[in-house]
Structure 1
Amino acid sequence: MVGGLIKGLRVIETFDRDHPRLAISDVARETDMDRATCRRLLLTLVSLGYAEHDGKFFKLTPRILRLGYSYLHTASLPSIVQPLLEQMSRETEESCSVSVLDGQSIVYIARASRQRVMSINLNVGSRLPAYCSSMGRALLAFMPPDQARKLLEKASRPALTAKTITEILPLMAELAKIKRQGYAIIDEELELGLRSIALPLYDNRGNVVAALNIGAQAARVSVKKMRDSFLPHLLHLQADLRQVYAPD
């Protein structure tokens, strides 16, 4: 293990949508490292072109995207699933996405968007909490229950709307239901006005490798339509991918 690399990655992960500009003191507080170490790490990122410094605040530069694109270029799943997503999006006239689990969050690795369905703009690399997103629940439901429970217990679980399920026992009951029926539906728990349906994606060995969803505005699409009209599309793509995706 290389301690300097670990510390550098922790500094990079401190920046997010809510914290695009950070002072040395902010980074030190978030990473629990001393200011001198954070200063050296941040200035190293600046010297390599991964960050900028205006004299007080640091922010990441577009060069940091190379790190994410390195994954996308070497992982076959996003390249395989992207054209399938685009076809499904055309057929349903809704936004379709694929994500993977990263800690207590999901990370988008492929997306075909017909229109903006959330207040935030979702793209490849966007993150959402797993506990209240359809793809997050689809992924949690198909892992060992004790492992899913540990992830939920570690996660911050604020009530994002009046409908958000936040308590452990109801969440675990919901995960059990999702596993029985094979898919997850989120009805305005992540954001008011948003409904989505998701299910797990498998490789050709039967391993869950990601989750797939369709999201739509609640004013236009009922829960019943999600089951009746969208679920068949999801199941079709799920079956197609299982036949062709063989990870290294």
Structure 2
Amino acid sequence: MILVIKKTSAVTAFICRANGVQMKDIAAHTGIGLTTVCNIIKTLVNIGWVQKKENKYFAGPEILSLTAPHFRFAALSFTAGQYVKKLAKELNEGAVLACIRGYELFNIHKFIPDNEIVVNPIKRGLGSIYTNATGRILLAYMTPEEISEIIRHCGEPSEFWTEINNYEHLKNELAKIKKNGYCLRRSENSLTAGLAVPVFSSDGSPWAALGIFLPASRLIKNNHQFVIKTLQKYSSIISQEIKYQE
């Protein structure tokens, strides 16, 4: 069994690297007999890990879906940092680009400009999806099944989100956030605030959330519609940049 797994791993890895290779070349590269390679590939095609086009084999949709989160994180890490910094400097507030990995909210990039009073966002990898504007905006674009998984692993949102008492409340609130296209969150003591918008990929799925965090008093003094438009401007720029990485 272990030998079969090793051979299957070798075949899969080579197909993913070459991404368009004939069966005889797979056998030659891996040193596995052609008949065995043929049997392995048949199974991989059946489960969607490999697909065949014109006598060549490519990585299939199932294996691409497994690697997609890692690819997205890498693309955003490589591309978006400069724009998070520009956003922070333009608004003179803390800015963050965050995504959900597994069931946690991760900060991919964070920049805090020189300012007398700043609000510290969640540390990388810590914090609840429910308690941050970036987490809530990403939650708003999830399917009901994905939301149920988040609740199953993270607990009921009512523990972290005081306005939410049950699932219907959550569903209605997320629908409002999605309709608005942004999330505005104020802390329970109304001293701090966070604003976030989604960052979309070319297929329209949200890869991340771009947000700012600031004392609520400064949001009141500023036109928050201007802040939202500035967030959306940089979100669009990042979306355009990651399209070249896809």
The list of structure 1 runs, each at least 4 consecutive aligned residues, that deviate by more than 6 angstroms after superposition, is none
Q: Determine if the alignment matches structure 1 residue 243 to structure 2 residue 213.
A: no
Partner SS, residue 220 of structure 1: helix
Sort the Cα spacing of 1:223 and 1:188 in 2 relative to 1 into closer, same or farther, 3 A. farther
Q: Assess if the C-alpha contact under 8 Å between 1:117 and 1:194 holds in 2.
A: no
Query: Which residue does the alignment assign to 1:111?
Result: 110
Partner SS, residue 221 of structure 1: helix
* CA shift for structure 1 position 90: 0.8
How far, CA to CA, are the matches of 1:117 and 1:126 in structure 2? 20
How far, CA to CA, are the matches of 2:174 and 2:100 in structure 1? 15
Q: Which has the higher contact order (CA 8 A, sep 6+)?
A: 2
* CA shift for structure 1 position 243: 1.8
How far, CA to CA, are the matches of 1:224 and 1:113 in structure 2? 18
Query: Which residue does the alignment assign to 1:206?
Result: 204
* Identity percentage of aligned residues: 21
How far, CA to CA, are the matches of 1:78 and 1:205 in structure 2? 19
CA RMSD of aligned residues (A): 2.9
Partner SS, residue 186 of structure 1: strand
Q: Assess if the C-alpha contact under 8 Å between 2:121 and 2:213 holds in 1.
A: no
Q: Assess if the C-alpha contact under 8 Å between 1:206 and 1:242 holds in 2.
A: no
Gaps of 5+ in 1: 3-70
Query: Which residue does the alignment assign to 1:175?
Result: 174
Alpha-carbon displacement from aligned partner over 1:172-226 (angstroms, at most 9, x marks no partner): 211111111111111115x752201111101233221111101111132229733
Partner SS, residue 80 of structure 2: helix
How far, CA to CA, are the matches of 1:144 and 1:117 in structure 2? 34
* CA shift for structure 1 position 148: 1.4
How far, CA to CA, are the matches of 1:107 and 1:167 in structure 2? 26
Q: What TM-score does the superposition give when structure 1 sets the normalisation length?
A: 0.60
Query: Which residue does the alignment assign to 1:233?
Result: 230
The structure with the largest helix share of the pair is 2
* Amino acid aligned to 1:237: Y
How far, CA to CA, are the matches of 1:237 and 1:202 in structure 2? 12
Q: Assess if the C-alpha contact under 8 Å between 1:194 and 1:218 holds in 2.
A: yes
Q: Determine if the alignment matches structure 1 residue 90 to structure 2 residue 89.
A: yes
* CA shift for structure 1 position 141: 0.6
Sort the Cα spacing of 1:151 and 1:144 in 2 relative to 1 into closer, same or farther, 3 A. same
User: Could you say which structure has the larger radius of gyration?
Assistant: 2
How far, CA to CA, are the matches of 1:121 and 1:209 in structure 2? 19
Q: Assess if the C-alpha contact under 8 Å between 1:152 and 1:168 holds in 2.
A: no
Aligned residues, how many?
A: 173
Partner SS, residue 207 of structure 2: strand
* Amino acid aligned to 2:79: I
How far, CA to CA, are the matches of 1:222 and 1:173 in structure 2? 26
Query: Which residue does the alignment assign to 2:28?
Result: none
Sort the Cα spacing of 1:117 and 1:158 in 2 relative to 1 into closer, same or farther, 3 A. farther
Please point out which of 192, 195, 198 is paired with 1:197. Answer: 195
Q: After alignment, is 128-137 or 167-176 more displaced?
A: 167-176
Sort the Cα spacing of 1:170 and 1:206 in 2 relative to 1 into closer, same or farther, 3 A. same
Q: What TM-score does the superposition give when structure 2 sets the normalisation length?
A: 0.61
